[in-house]
Amino acid sequence: MLNVILVVVGLIFLTILIVWLIDKFVPKGLKPVLNLALWALIIFLGYLTFNSVYGEIKFNKLKEDRYKKVITKLQDIRDAELAHRTVTGTFAGNFDDLIKFIDTAQFTITQRRDSTIIDEELTRRFGGVETTRDIVITDTLGTVSVRDSLFGADKRYQTMMNLPKNIGPASGEKFELKAGKLPDGNIPVFEASVKKSIILQDQAPNLISKEEEVMSVDGVRGPTLKVGSMDEADTTGNWPKNLANN
């Protein structure tokens, strides 16, 4: 956008210079017509400059509003996936399994406490002198529903695979969800994502292309908005903190 603005501003100054030259050297009979045409051109170029700046400001505001709504959904997906790993040891690779898990699974509530017991082996080694050692005992206190723990009475998890309303094409886009394990260490991983071009599909193509190339830590990095990764053990999102819903 900066290059466009510099070109337009340069044309404005060039046009003003031409107006001055006309006023100084062109015969009086032609001056009114030429001046009128050139001032009209100056106004038009000024409008283009304003529209370029204001258009990007509006785009940035709309982009952030949409990103925040999408991120809220991605955070729900991440919470559900982390619960799935806690209970099953793996991540879910599709939303049907993930929703079924939320509806049926239970967290086990445990309590850890320190205790001291007699170490029989050491006691024998020391000729019957009573010797103790410290241990940690884990008590199972009960279970609690995953659904109640994460969402309470809210049923939004049943539609967490869908993009927020008024975002994406009319056909209804969904998040892409993948899960698997890393080759090294057999570590479970997952990734939920949606392309920026889908979130911003009704905006100017040049602004979308520019947004897809963002790699700054102050913006959403890359061509997608996502949480998790299929390439490393990472469950964070690729968005800056100011867009996250705490």
Q: pLDDT tens across 141-169, in order?
A: 667 899 999 999 999 999 999 998 877 66
pLDDT of residue 100: 96
pLDDT of residue 101: 96
Half-sphere exposure of 239 (CA within 13 A, CB side): 24
The structure's pTM equals 0.71
Domain ranges of the chain: 2-105+146-243, 106-145
Q: Check whether 45 has a pLDDT greater than 70.
A: no
- Length of the chain equals 246
3 state SS of 241: helix
**Closest-CA residue to 207 (of 65, 11, 53):** 53
- Report which DSSP code applies to 222: S
Q: Position 192: which residue type? A: A
Mean pLDDT, rounded, for 89-114:
87
Q: Check whether 171 has a pLDDT greater than 60.
A: no
CB 83 within 8 A of CB 232: no
Structure tokens at 194: 């949606």
Structure tokens at 110: 């445990």
Answer with the residue of higher pLDDT: 10 or 60. 60
pLDDT of residue 242: 84
Answer with the residue of higher pLDDT: 237 or 41. 237
